[in-house]
């Protein structure tokens, strides 16, 4: 969001245009404000926000950098620059700016959550979990942090804690299908296929019976002894997305299909017969 602070006439007009959604004219006004005062950090910051809105991440990063050269203690600018850098895959530089933001405001929930996401991408699960927890210490009802923490705990194999976080996320936002799907994977690994099946069904009510949902339902049904229904769900999943369902090596790379879930899916695939995935 643009910083709504008083400033020059061009700056104030830029803020009004930004808030009304007129991005192009807001960019013009912020550029004029910078021409009047090249050290106007708020104009640089807000111009960066508008450029990011337009999809110009390079331009946005350049303007965030200009603002930080004038005042290196702009916590929000560090945070938004980190987000932009992370979006471009420049993880090391993004991490530096997240850390700078947190040195200025250690309790910033968004900075902690987003640094957690970056650390997860870098393979540092413990670091990611620590920052998700810090985000939740500041904002206990932070939905993304609950989901991200649940996912990281699942990857660590702490199933009970993962289920707790995902249930907390669902309580906050019950209409988000991905949370139900992830909880279903966790519950399946906890050897509760009945509860897992219910979560798959809840996900299906929200975004339809896609290939992932049907494949997930098939393994739960298989474990519950519902062999006929399991094979029906599996064949329907293959019909929707053969490349996704039948490429088990690729599924394993997704993380949630590791462990018992993939083992049972392979059992269902074997029972369905070799022709089901033929041509995959």
pLDDT at residue 2 tops 60: no
DSSP code, position 188: H
Taken in order 16, 21, 22, 24, is the CA torsion positive or negative? positive
**Cα 150 to Cα 201: distance, rounded to the nearest angstrom:** 20
Give the pLDDT score at 278.
79
Q: Which of 12-21, 35-44, 214-223: highest mean pLDDT? A: 214-223
- Taken in order of first residue, the domains within the chain and their CATH numbers are 178-280 (1.25.40.10)
- At 126-177, the pLDDT tens digits run 999 999 999 999 999 999 999 999 999 999 999 999 999 999 999 999 999 9
Residues 6+ apart with CB under 8 A from 147: 165, 166, 169, 176, 178, 179, 182
Look at 114 and 253; give whichever has higher pLDDT.
Answer: 114
- At 257-267, the pLDDT tens digits run 878 999 999 99
Proportion of the chain above pLDDT 90, given as a percent: 89
- At 187-232, the pLDDT tens digits run 999 999 999 999 999 999 999 999 999 999 999 999 999 999 999 9
Give the pLDDT score at 1.
47
Which of these, 107, 86, 106, lies nearest to 96 by C-alpha position?
Answer: 86
């Amino acid at each position: 969001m643009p910083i709504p602070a008083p400033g020059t006439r061009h700056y104030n007009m830029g803020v009004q245009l930004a808030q009304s959604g007129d991005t192009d004219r807001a960019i013009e006004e912020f550029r004029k404000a910078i021409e009047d005062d090249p050290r106007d950090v708020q104009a640089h910051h807000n111009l960066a926000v508008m450029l990011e809105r337009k999809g110009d991440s390079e331009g946005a990063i350049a303007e965030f950098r200009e603002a930080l050269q004038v005042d290196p203690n702009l916590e929000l600018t560090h945070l938004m620059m980190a987000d932009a850098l992370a979006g471009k895959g420049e993880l090391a530089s993004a991490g530096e700016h997240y850390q700078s933001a947190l040195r200025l405001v250690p309790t910033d929930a968004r900075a902690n959550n987003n640094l957690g996401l970056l650390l997860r991408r870098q393979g540092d699960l413990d670091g990611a979990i620590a920052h998700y927890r810090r985000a939740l210490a500041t904002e206990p009802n932070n939905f993304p942090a609950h989901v991200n923490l649940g996912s990281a705990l699942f990857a660590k194999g702490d199933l009970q804690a993962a289920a707790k976080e995902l249930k907390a996320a669902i309580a906050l936002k019950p209409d988000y299908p991905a949370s139900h799907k992830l909880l279903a994977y966790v519950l399946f690994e906890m050897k509760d296929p009945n509860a897992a099946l219910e979560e798959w069904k809840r996900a299906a009510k929200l975004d339809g019976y896609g290939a992932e949902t049907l494949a997930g339902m098939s393994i739960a049904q298989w474990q519950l002894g519902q062999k006929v229904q399991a094979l029906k769900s599996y064949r329907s999943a293959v019909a929707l997305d053969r490349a996704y369902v039948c490429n088990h090596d690729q599924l394993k790379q997704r993380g949630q299909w590791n462990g018992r879930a993939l083992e049972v899916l392979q059992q269902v695939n074997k029972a369905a017969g070799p022709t089901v995935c033929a041509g995959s």
